[in-house]
Structure 1
Amino acid sequence: MTQVIVQETAPVTLIGGGDVAPSDLKEALLIAPVLVAADGGANTAVALGYEPRAVIGDFDSVSAETRAALPDSILHLVAEQETTDFDKALRAVAAPLVLAVGFLGGRVDHQLAALHVLVQPHDSPCILIGAQEVVVHITAPLAVTLTPGDVVSLFPLAPVTGRSEGLEWPIDGLTLSPFQRIGTSNRAIAEEVRIGVDGPGLLAILPRRSLGAVIQAMQADRSQSWAAPQVR
């Protein structure tokens, strides 16, 4: 278990080594100004003129030039190879919300690994920000303001049941599973979409322009969340 390295009372931006649009990073930092890099994300941060509060990972992707440009005090080596650098970094951050850029796009295996990490039990809720979508793990009732017609894709990484309001195809009474029924390409038919789940494993994939609304929804009262199983 990675120890907490960065503890904040405000949201944190986490940058990975994948595709990062400078505008996405800038937008995230306006909301979550403390920047943490997961391993090779430090290369992108430095190249764009930012110095992270901390760099966390096994350092197999941090260039020698990047390491030379950063003080040793912010470099936190987590040498174990059982988890990804995204997982290492997310476990090392304690914050009310993490905005993660540089984990979607690029290699498909890296994206799948990021989605796998997203459904693991972490203390800090996380939003993955991509070029076209944002992705969240639904761990408590989610009520988000959207535009009718917006695509709302629900993708299960484990069998899960739940309920919804404001979707063209409600999920009430259904079991979503990666082996059988999934919920991609659903659509909002109301300005507010509500989704509740009975356990872990369901990802919501929403339009990129809904980021502000998703942040608001993720920062709402989440006291009804279930206890995620402590599995690896």
Structure 2
Amino acid sequence: MGDNVPFDAPLFSSDEGVTLVGGGPAAPHDLHEALALAPRIVAADGGAVAALDAGFVPEAVYGDMDSLSAEDRVRIPAGRIHAIPEQMTTDFDKALRHVRAPFVVAVGFTGARVDHELSVYHGLIARAEARCIVLGAQDIVLHAPPEIALDLPEGTRVSLFPLARVTGRSEGLDWPLDGHAFHPATRIGTSNRASGGRVRIALDGAGMLLILPRAHLAGAARALQAASLWSRASKDAWV
């Protein structure tokens, strides 16, 4: 799922944050919270129905359209629906690779099928250029950039979950990352805590998910926008 996948539909470009809506479980306040931060709305396939039912017409819909009925399609202007029939990538990936925005907040991609949710976390790493944050019922999840700095109150849960072998350094965590090699089969970094104030994390490779309480969505979005991203070469190295 790399650059060999063509951009086979029009890109959606925005100078503001984009809310990407999926077809998974999401409370009404989830969508409203995301839109308050990222006011443009795009849907991944059946996520269009969730947006429509909440009273929002998506500005673009991407996916293979196997979850969007003919009755729902007529509720969306035809020029906004971009069917991408290839089956090598997920609808999340199809949508994310066509969005150009300062950052993306993804709503409706957690809490249902585990295989779907895992594929979303893969997509965060494969499409790091999208600066995407997945909004869940309790947490937010993002692909940690090479360096990130956040202001977090003392005791805030800071979880790190590797999808590859990753080493790094940190400041402002109760249990520093320094000297540890993280790997999904040997060492993970869940349930760490902020010691209060500025938390800095620097990683030596791509593939680390950063998980925070959802109350820190806005701060994480600012920090992600300020951070540099992994190069294509560094992202490909972990696959």
Q: Is TM (by shorter chain) over 0.5?
A: yes
1:5 to 6, 11, 17: 11
Cα deviation for residue 2 of structure 1 reads 4.4
Contact 1:121/1:228 (<8 A) preserved: no
Contact 1:2/1:78 (<8 A) preserved: no
Counterparts of 1:124 and 1:58 in 2: how far apart (Å)? Answer: 20
1:176 to 163, 179, 182: 182
1:73 corresponds to 2:59:
no
Task: Give 3-state SS (helix, strand or coil) of 1:26's partner.
Answer: helix
Q: Paired residue for 2:225?
A: 219
Counterparts of 1:137 and 1:31 in 2: how far apart (Å)? Answer: 19
Contact 2:157/2:193 (<8 A) preserved: yes
| Aligned pairs for 1:192-203 within 5 A | 192-203=198-209
Task: Give 3-state SS (helix, strand or coil) of 1:184's partner.
Answer: strand
Task: Give 3-state SS (helix, strand or coil) of 1:213's partner.
Answer: helix
Q: Paired residue for 1:147?
A: 153
1:21 corresponds to 2:27:
yes
Counterparts of 1:167 and 1:83 in 2: how far apart (Å)? Answer: 36
Gaps of 5+ in 1: none
Cα deviation for residue 139 of structure 1 reads 1.7
The letter for the 1-side match of 2:20 is L
Structure 1 residues 119 and 226: CA distance shift in structure 2, 3 A: closer
1:61 corresponds to 2:67:
yes
The letter for the 1-side match of 2:73 is R
| Aligned pairs for 1:8-157 within 5 A | 8-157=14-163
Q: When the two structures are superposed, what TM-score results if normalisation uses the length of structure 2?
A: 0.92
Task: Give 3-state SS (helix, strand or coil) of 2:26's partner.
Answer: coil
1:158 to 146, 155, 164: 164
Counterparts of 1:22 and 1:145 in 2: how far apart (Å)? Answer: 28
Counterparts of 1:158 and 1:227 in 2: how far apart (Å)? Answer: 16
The letter for the 2-side match of 1:34 is R
Gaps of 5+ in 2: none
Cα deviation for residue 149 of structure 1 reads 0.9
The letter for the 1-side match of 2:232 is A
Over residues 151-210 of structure 1, what are the superposed CA-to-partner deviations in whole Å (9 max), with x where a residue is unaligned? 111000010111111111111121100111110111111222111111110001000111
The letter for the 2-side match of 1:18 is G
